[in-house]
């Protein structure tokens, strides 16, 4: 039995669909059956776990994706679910794949998605001063607003011409507080 067939048999109506796409098959499941889907994939032979991540879908929330494979890597699949934008949360996958703990910590830090049951969701990569959930589409990268953009040519190279008007870098909202270095001169 293939991994997809194993998940299909275990989830029934909890399986939203299977997308053949251009790479490995993607199994879409309802978030309430996330851990059950991962357990079914493991029971069907997908014992190798190597990735859990997310991506921002804008107003639709976030997609959380796991990549698993059989031990001989002859078959590999993606298991995917969606969580809402407001208070995104999902059950932890660590009971099925212990290696998911580090990935959940990173996904929590970068996207703000909570993983219920994972007690170690403290920051992993960023300092406490870093912006919360920097990979969310609604997160402004502070470095873009703090540095002058676009840069000014060296006055000795300007040939006597005046200074260029400075503009906000791409992705910084018009109402973002800007230092005097980046404002119009």
DSSP symbols for the chain: --HHHHHHHHHGGGEEEEE--SSSEEEEE-GGGHHHHHHHHHHTT--EEEEEEEEE-GGG-EEEEEEEE-TTSS-EEEEEEEE-SSS-EEE-STTT-TTHHHHHHHHHHHH--EEET-S--S-SSS-TTSPSSTTSTT---HHHHHS-SSPPPPGGGSTT--PPPP-PPTT--TTS---TTTS--
Has residue 88 been placed in a domain? yes
**CA torsion 173→174→180→185, rounded to 10°?**
130
Quick one: tokens of 74? Answer: 């002859």
Q: Are residues 37 and 74 in the same domain?
A: yes
Q: Are residues 18 and 109 in the same domain?
A: yes
| Domain CATH for 10 | 3.30.460.80
Per-residue pLDDT of the chain (185 residues; tens, 9 = 90+): 899 999 999 998 889 999 988 889 999 999 999 999 999 999 999 999 999 999 999 999 999 999 999 999 999 999 999 999 999 999 999 999 999 999 999 999 999 999 999 988 888 888 877 778 889 988 876 665 555 545 555 445 555 555 555 666 667 777 776 654 444 44
Residue 17 and residue 60 in contact, taking contact as beta carbons nearer than 8 Å: no
Nearest one of 5, 65, 2, 55 to 31, comparing CA atoms: 65
Has residue 34 been placed in a domain? yes
Strands 76-83 and 25-29: parallel
**Model confidence, pTM:** 0.75
pLDDT on residue 29: 96
User: How many residues are there in the chain?
Assistant: 185
Has residue 128 been placed in a domain? no
- What residue numbers bound the domain in which 74 lies? 3-116
Count of the separate structural domains present in the chain: 2
Q: Are residues 83 and 151 in the same domain?
A: no
């Amino acid at each position: 039995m293939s991994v997809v067939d194993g998940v299909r048999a275990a989830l029934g109506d909890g399986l939203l669909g299977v997308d053949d796409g251009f790479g490995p098959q993607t199994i879409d499941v309802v978030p309430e059956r996330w851990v059950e889907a991962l357990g079914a994939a493991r029971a069907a032979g997908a014992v190798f776990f190597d990735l859990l991540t997310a991506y921002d879908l804008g107003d639709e929330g976030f997609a959380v994706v796991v990549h698993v494979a059989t031990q001989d890597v002859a078959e590999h699949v993606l298991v995917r679910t969606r969580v809402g934008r407001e208070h995104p949360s999902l059950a932890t996958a660590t009971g099925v794949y212990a290696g998911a703990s580090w990935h959940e910590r990173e996904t929590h830090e970068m996207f703000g998605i909570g993983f219920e049951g994972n007690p170690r969701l403290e920051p992993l990569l960023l300092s406490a001063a870093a912006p919360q959930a920097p990979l969310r589409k609604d997160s402004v990268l502070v470095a873009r607003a703090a540095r002058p953009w676009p840069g000014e040519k060296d006055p000795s190279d300007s040939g006597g011409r005046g200074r260029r008007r400075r503009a906000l870098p791409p992705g910084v909202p018009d109402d973002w507080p800007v230092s005097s270095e980046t404002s119009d001169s």
